[in-house]
């Protein structure tokens, strides 16, 4: 089972109702998809709920899966739509902004930023506190990007997907992905400068 491709597992699920295949897909994508949702939402408990909703939709819509597509593309597309739906729902309900995630609940998840050493050797408590503070500030700035720019930025920088893969996931032209990525970086750099974080990141 573990030697099967994602697409073969989906075929087994669709054609044979093989729940073991579904469980294997869940195991393979639990960490990357959850991390993606967490970066998008910045709320640990909500990210857990939305991850479950994502895989519920994957199972519910399994028969609509296009074998010509990569499963990862389809899964990230569903996760993106789940996140967007939730954020729009929050705005409609005029609820308070989503709280920043408590890093104590995600100690096993790595969050690295450009210019920040993710694995310092025997870092002092002061260094770790400074690093955590910078990471929190950057996370907040990424979260403040417009929705369209944020999704492209997170898929590129945190999930390490190519522009072509992002275009397939979001169902937008390749040129639009590149434009949004450029604008996302530009806006983030401008925000970093305004917040006076440039020196802290060097």
Q: What is the CATH classification number for the domain harbouring 197?
A: 1.10.10.10
- For residue 64, the model assigns a pLDDT of 93
- Distance (Å) of CA 173 to CA 147, 150, 182: 17, 17, 14
Give the integer Cα–Cα distance in Å for 183 and 162.
16
Q: Are residues 132 and 170 in the same domain?
A: yes
- For residue 128, the model assigns a pLDDT of 57
State the Rg of the chain over Cα: 18
pLDDT digits (tens, 9 = 90+) for 143-176: 889 989 999 999 988 888 899 999 999 999 999 9
Please list, in sequence order, all residues whose beta carbon lies within 8 angstroms of the beta carbon of residue 127, skipping any fewer than 6 positions away.
120
* Backbone angle region of 122, left / alpha / beta, with phi > 0 → left and psi within -120 to 50 → alpha: left
Please list, in sequence order, all residues whose beta carbon lies within 8 angstroms of the beta carbon of residue 118, skipping any fewer than 6 positions away.
110, 112
- For residue 98, the model assigns a pLDDT of 42
User: Where is the domain boundary, 109, 125, 160?
Assistant: 109
- Domain residue limits at 183: 116-202
Scanning the chain, the segments in alpha helix (DSSP H) are 6-16, 19-41, 44-60, 71-92, 125-143, 147-157, 163-170, 174-194, 198-201
Indicate the number of domains in the chain.
Answer: 2
Give the integer Cα–Cα distance in Å for 68 and 89.
32
Q: Are residues 102 and 132 in the same domain?
A: no
Give the integer Cα–Cα distance in Å for 164 and 178.
9
CATH of residue 92: 1.10.1740.10
Determine the length of the chain.
202
Q: Are residues 132 and 196 in the same domain?
A: yes
User: Where is the domain boundary, 56, 84, 109?
Assistant: 109
Binned average pLDDT, 10 residues per bin, the chain of 202 residues: 87 93 94 92 91 94 89 94 87 52 40 41 54 70 88 89 91 93 89 71 51
Q: Are residues 123 and 56 in the same domain?
A: no
In this structure, the number of other CB atoms found within 10 A of the CB of residue 60 comes to 10
Would the pTM of this model clear 0.75, i.e. be above it? no
């Amino acid at each position: 089972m573990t030697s099967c491709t994602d697409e073969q597992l989906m075929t087994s699920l669709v054609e044979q109702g093989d729940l073991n295949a579904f469980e294997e897909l869940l195991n393979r994508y639990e960490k990357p998809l959850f991390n993606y949702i967490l970066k998008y939402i910045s709320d640990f408990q909500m990210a857990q709920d939305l991850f479950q909703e994502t895989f519920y939709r994957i199972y519910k819509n399994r028969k609509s899966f296009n074998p010509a597509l990569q499963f990862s593309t389809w899964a990230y597309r569903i996760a993106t739509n789940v996140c967007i739906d939730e954020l729009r729902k929050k705005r409609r309900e005029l609820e308070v902004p989503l709280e920043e995630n408590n890093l104590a609940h995600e100690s096993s998840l790595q969050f690295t930023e450009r210019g920040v050493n993710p694995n310092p050797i025997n870092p002092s408590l002061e260094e770790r506190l400074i690093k955590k503070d910078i990471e929190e500030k950057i996370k907040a700035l990424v979260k403040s990007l417009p929705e369209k720019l944020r999704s492209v930025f997170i898929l590129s920088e945190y999930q390490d997907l190519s522009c072509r893969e992002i275009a397939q996931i979001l169902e937008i032209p390749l040129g639009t992905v590149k434009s949004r990525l450029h604008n996302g970086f530009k806006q983030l750099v401008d925000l970093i400068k305004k917040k006076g974080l440039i020196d802290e990141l060097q």
